[in-house]
Amino acid sequence: MNNRFRLMKSAALIAVLLAPCAFLSSALAAKKEPARHWDFQTSKLDKEGIPEGWSYRGKPGTPDVKYEIVEDKELKHKVLHITSDKASGVIMVDCSDVDLKKYPIMRWRWKAVTLPTGADATVKSKDDQGIAVYVGYGKLTQSSISYNWQTETPKGKSGSSTYNWVVDVDWFTLRDKNDKKDTWFEEEVNVYDDMKKIFKKIPSDWALSISSNSQYTESKADVYLDYVEFVEKKSGDAKKDEKKEEKKDEKKEEKKDEKKDK
């Protein structure tokens, strides 16, 4: 009897001790993780000086952009350091496996130390950006959306540009020369909504690109990138979208009924 009581007591104690672990496991399972996340905390540069896992594209006749993976004193981990000296270049990674309907929000953290002198996206001869985050698709012809850190082009301004008759870019200025230098900023945009509005579709094959340009202004850019990720919408925003879709469906049904009555 005593042994049985001891066993029951021990089992009860174990259950009490394991309860927090079970709760923690449930909490971890419920935690929303990014669909895709790229950072440089454990990354290395390949033989060509490009971050592993990314591909590079430069511009013929123009110096290449330089990359370093360095320790950031404020964040206390490694980040990507990008320098452009009269240069132009972009690193790219395939994002075709990202479900944008489920993970529509692109979020990243960046900072600028030096921006191209006098750069302005509205003037073709000065169309440089210290750093820009692109999403785009296409091979022979390309369509892209660009979120830029500009110099003279004011924050909040947007526009479109065409390069060599085959590359169309719709751009948005998120930061400019008036934003504090050498300071980290976190950005968040709804890529799904922007693609639907600009491309009129969600491409099946598309890529994420990080560019830096200073060739037109013949100057320099010195910028940093911490990470880029795709995440779910906040629950409140998702509910708002659901209500909008419901209203659209209701209007469609009303129109159908009106046509039937006629």
> pLDDT, tens digit, for every residue of 5-50?
454 444 443 333 333 333 333 333 344 455 599 999 999 999 999 9
Cβ burial, residue 153 (10 Å; 0-12/13-18/19+): buried
Average pLDDT across the chain, whole number: 85
Q: State the average pLDDT over residues 226-251.
A: 70
Task: Express each pLDDT in 44-86 by its tens digit.
Answer: 999 999 999 999 999 999 999 999 999 999 999 999 999 999 9
Q: What percent of the chain has pLDDT over 90?
A: 71
Q: For residue 93, what are its two tokens?
A: 């990674």
User: What is the Cα–Cα distance from 218 to 210, expressed in whole angstroms?
Assistant: 20
- Residue 96's pLDDT is 93
pLDDT at 248 over 80: no
- Residue 16's pLDDT is 35
Kindly report which listed range (11-15, 84-88, 110-114, 190-194) carries the lowest average pLDDT score: 11-15
pLDDT at 149 over 50: yes
User: What is the Cα–Cα distance from 24 to 260, expressed in whole angstroms?
Assistant: 56
